[in-house]
Structure formats: C-alpha cells, structure tokens
C-alpha cells in the first residue's frame, strides 16, 4: 500500500507530521480529516524531486479564482459572520467547499494569518489581484467601526454590480463582433473561392470587363497567391495593436478613442462615471479618508484620462481645495454632476449624493448599451450587405454585358 508523508494541524492548532499508508491521496486526506486534523501538505513518500516540482508548477499555473469566486466568498463570509461564527471557522468552512485549489490554499493562508494575530484586512492585502484596495480599505474601516458583516454585504453588492456591468459591456460587443467576423469571412470566401471560378469565363475578355470587376479579379488573384502574407500581416496587426494599447502613449490614444468615438462614447463615458462615483461613494460611506478614497477611485476608474482627472483632484484636495474645484476644469464630467458633487460637499452628504449619481449613471449605462446595440446592428448589416452586393454586382454585370453582346451579334 502506498505511503504518504503529511503535515497537518491538529484540533489544538499545533503543526504535526508523519507518514501514513492509504490507497490514494484522497484516502490519506480522509484519514487525517476523520481524526480532526487539517491537511497542510500531503505527498507520496516515494515522490521524486521531479514529481514535487511538477506538482508545484501545476499549482502555480492553475487558473486562479475569478471575480465571481471572490463575490461568492464575500457573500458566504458575511452570512457566516452574521450568524455568529468566528472568522477563523468561517474561513476554514468556506475553504473546504471551494473547488479552486489555488483559492483554497489562499483562504487557508489567510486563516493562518488571522490565527497568528493579524487583522483580516492585513491578511487579504497580501493578495492585491484578488482583494483590491477598495476591498481592503472597506474591510479596514469596518474593523474599526465594528460593522464587519454589514460592510461585507456592501462589498458583495459592489462586486455584483461590477460583474453585471462588465457582462453588459461585453454582451454589447459580442453581436457586432460576430457580424464583423461573418462579413470578413464571407468576403474572403467570395474573393478566394467563388470569384476564381469565373476567371476562366472572363479569360481573353479582360478589355471588356468593368473597372470594379478588374479590380476584384486582381485582388482575388493576389489573395489566392499571397494568402500567407496576408494572414501574417493580419496577425501582426492584431498583436501590434494589443501591444500598442498596453503602452502609455497607445493606451492614452485608445482610451481617448473610447470616450470620443461618435457611437460608443456615450456608453463608455457612462461606464467610467458610474464606476468612479460608485467607488467613491462606497468608500466615503464606509468611513475611508477622503485622500485614500480619491486615490483608490483613480486606480479603479478604468480609463487613463479619468485616472489623470482623479489624480489631479487628489493633488488639489491635498492642498486643502474642494473636490469640485478641480473637477470643474475638466470636460470629462457633465456640469450637472459637478454641481451635485459641490452641493454634497457643502451639505456634508457627499457619499449619499455620489450613490444617487452613480445609480443614475448605472441606468444611463444600460440605456446607452441598448442604444449602441440598436445602432451598430443595422449598420453592420448594411455594411455586410453592401460588400456582398458589390462583389455580386462585379461578377454578374460582365456576364449580362457579354450576354447582350452575344444576343446582339
């Protein structure tokens, strides 16, 4: 029977180790759990260094938790804390139910940090890709105010809205993307498979062909002969574009395009305004200091131009100025929004005002997405129909012309 070397924590929290025999790793883990131990490490006794290295590589490169996993974790933790379960027991219980191995190990490490005396906010701050600055700062504020479960509910609501917003934006781009791919695919099919079939029909009659037909025939011959160059150029163009928008200059251009292009600018402006003001409102209502709130809002905004705006607001507030002072100098926020922010500052209810504005822009975002979809759909259909119709006309027109010549002769 195979033997396994293990490390585990017993019911007293002490780290114990040893060797046990079992039919499989799962059976060995079950033995440890049945005696009340929590498994920390479990490897075959005969495992080689290569086996261990492969296991580590598999863990390191396995898919990490998604934002939906973080939302589910936050919701479960809020329910368990509200029910009176200690945070250590809650973390262990959630970890046992998590299917993602990487996330399970992270939760167990967070539990270990909490057991050693660290605050929960300090423990999760070690994983900034999973628990961003908004999450950490809202938790930290709740630890000082004693409203941990309530704050987790607010965080879960925020994450849920962010997931829904992302789903709406992605969903709005899927249909136009499908139409664009179909248009390109249809055009390539007609030029490389259909049009060459007519080359023999038109052979020797090139002088009588209309200009559009000549141009398409030349393009078709070029695509058939040099298709690999065109494919390589298309791949290089896509890779180059993706690389360019990751640079500061390219990213600024791309972000400017999204908030200024005629059809999509309304949608993206509503997205960035809603996200920024929602984040800011949540943090202020959680009791996070103003400067920290503005800094986090800048990082979460999602657009370099809005990030610059909020960083300029940060610098102004640090000098003792009001938030609306710097906002009024930028065209990125409507005047009405700046006036409401100013009123919120004067009344001392800025957090509540920001919540109301962000809720309005969340609705505006939904309306903008519907409007963009309704405009792009017929536009793409017209473009696709125009391309296919032009190719069909270039093929059929010379055939009719030759038929008339033959019947006339």
For 90-118, the pLDDT digits (tens) are 898 888 888 888 888 999 999 999 888 88
Q: What is the rounded average pLDDT of the residues 387-399?
A: 79
The pLDDT score that the predictor gives to residue 382 is 85
Average pLDDT, the chain: 83
d(CA 258, CA 346): 33
Q: What is the mean pLDDT of residues 116-142?
A: 89
More confident site: 54 or 387:
387
**Mean pLDDT within 344-368:** 89
| pLDDT, greater one: 128 or 12 | 128
Q: What is the pLDDT of residue 206?
A: 65
For the segment 145-167, the average pLDDT, to the nearest whole number, is 87
Q: pLDDT grade, residue 143 (50/70/90)?
A: confident
Q: What is the pLDDT of residues 206-254, one digit of tens each?
A: 676 778 888 888 888 888 888 889 889 999 999 999 999 999 899 999 9
* Assigned token pair, 351: 């957090």
**What pLDDT is stored for residue 277 in this prediction?**
92
* Total residue count of the chain as it appears in this document: 409
| Beta carbons of 151 and 139 less than 8 angstroms apart | yes
> 160-194: per-residue pLDDT in tens?
988 888 888 887 778 777 878 888 888 888 888 87
3 and 45 Cβ atoms separated by less than 8 Å: yes
Q: What pLDDT sits at residue 313?
A: 93
Q: What is the mean pLDDT of residues 345-373?
A: 88
Q: Between 120 and 194, name the one with better pLDDT.
A: 120
pLDDT digits (tens, 9 = 90+) for 72-91: 999 999 888 888 888 888 89
With beta carbons less than 8 A apart as the criterion, state whether 271 and 363 touch: no
% of the chain surpassing 70 pLDDT: 86
Instruction: Give me 184's structure tokens.
Output: 């390109």
More confident residue, 62 or 97: 97
pLDDT band at 25 (very low <50, low <70, confident <90, very high): low
Nearest CA to 64 out of 89, 40, 26, 98 is that of: 98
Q: Tokens representing 114?
A: 């909490």
| pLDDT tens per residue across span 315-329 | 999 998 988 888 988
Domains of the chain and any CATH numbers: 3-61 (3.10.20), 67-160 (1.20.81.30), 169-409 (1.20.81.30)
Percent of the chain with pLDDT over 90: 23
Q: How many other CB atoms are there within 10 angstroms of residue 275's CB atom? A: 24
Q: What is the pLDDT of residue 219?
A: 86
What is d(CA 281, CA 307) in angstroms, rounded to the nearest whole number?
17
- The pairs formed by 102-105 with CB atoms below 8 angstroms and a separation of 24 or more are 102/59, 102/62, 102/63, 102/64, 102/65, 103/64, 103/65, 103/69, 103/73, 103/130, 105/59
Integer Cα distance of 149 and 153 in angstroms: 6
Higher pLDDT, 199 or 229: 229
Taking residues 13-30, what's their average pLDDT? 72
Between 21-25, 41-45, 74-78, 352-356, the lowest mean confidence (pLDDT) is in 41-45
Please report, for residues 76, 144, 145, 269, the alpha-carbon distance to residue 140 in angstroms, rounded to integers and kept in the order given.
Answer: 19, 7, 9, 31
Kindly tell me if the per-residue pLDDT of 314 is higher than 90.
Answer: yes
- For residues 212 and 256, which has the higher predicted lDDT (pLDDT)? 256
Cα maximum dimension of the chain: 105
């Amino acid at each position: 029977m195979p033997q396994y070397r293990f490390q585990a924590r017993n019911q007293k929290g002490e780290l114990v180790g040893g060797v046990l025999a079992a039919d499989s790793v799962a059976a060995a883990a079950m033995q440890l759990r049945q005696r009340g131990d929590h498994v920390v490490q479990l490897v075959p006794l005969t495992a080689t260094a290569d086996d261990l290295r492969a296991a580590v590589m598999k863990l390191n490169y396995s898919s990490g938790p998604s934002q939906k996993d973080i939302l589910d974790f936050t919701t479960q933790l809020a329910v368990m804390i509200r029910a009176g379960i200690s945070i250590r027991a809650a973390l262990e219980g959630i970890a046992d139910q998590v299917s993602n191995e990487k996330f399970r190990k992270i939760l167990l490490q967070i539990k270990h940090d909490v057991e050693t005396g660290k605050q929960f906010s300090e423990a999760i701050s070690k994983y900034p890709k999973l628990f961003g600055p908004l999450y950490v700062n809202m938790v930290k504020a709740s630890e000082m105010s004693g409203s941990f479960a309530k704050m987790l509910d607010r965080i879960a609501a925020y994450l849920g809205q962010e997931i829904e917003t992302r789903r709406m934006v992605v969903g709005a781009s899927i249909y136009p993307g499908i139409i664009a791919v179909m248009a390109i695919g249809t055009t390539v099919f007609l030029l490389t498979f259909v049009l060459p079939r007519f080359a023999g029909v038109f052979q020797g009659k090139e002088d009588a062909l209309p200009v559009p037909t000549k141009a398409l025939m030349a393009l078709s011959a070029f695509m058939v002969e040099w298709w690999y160059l065109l494919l390589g150029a298309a791949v290089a163009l896509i890779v180059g574009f993706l690389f360019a928008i990751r640079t500061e200059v390219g990213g600024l251009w791309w972000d400017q395009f999204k908030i200024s292009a005629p059809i999509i600018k309304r949608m993206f402006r509503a997205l960035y305004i809603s996200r920024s003001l929602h984040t800011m409102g949540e943090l202020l209502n959680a009791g996070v200091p103003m400067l920290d709130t503005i800094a986090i809002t800048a990082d979460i905004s999602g657009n370099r131009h809005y990030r610059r705006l909020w960083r300029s607001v940060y610098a102004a507030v640090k000098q003792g100025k009001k938030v609306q002072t710097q906002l009024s100098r930028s065209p990125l926020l409507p005047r009405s929004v700046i006036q409401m922010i100013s009123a919120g500052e004067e009344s001392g209810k800025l957090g509540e005002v920001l919540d109301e504005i962000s809720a309005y822009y969340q609705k505006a975002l939904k309306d903008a997405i519907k409007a963009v979809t309704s405009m792009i759909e017929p536009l793409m259909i017209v473009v696709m129909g125009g391309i296919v119709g032009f190719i069909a006309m270039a093929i059929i027109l010379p055939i009719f012309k030759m038929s008339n010549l033959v019947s006339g002769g």
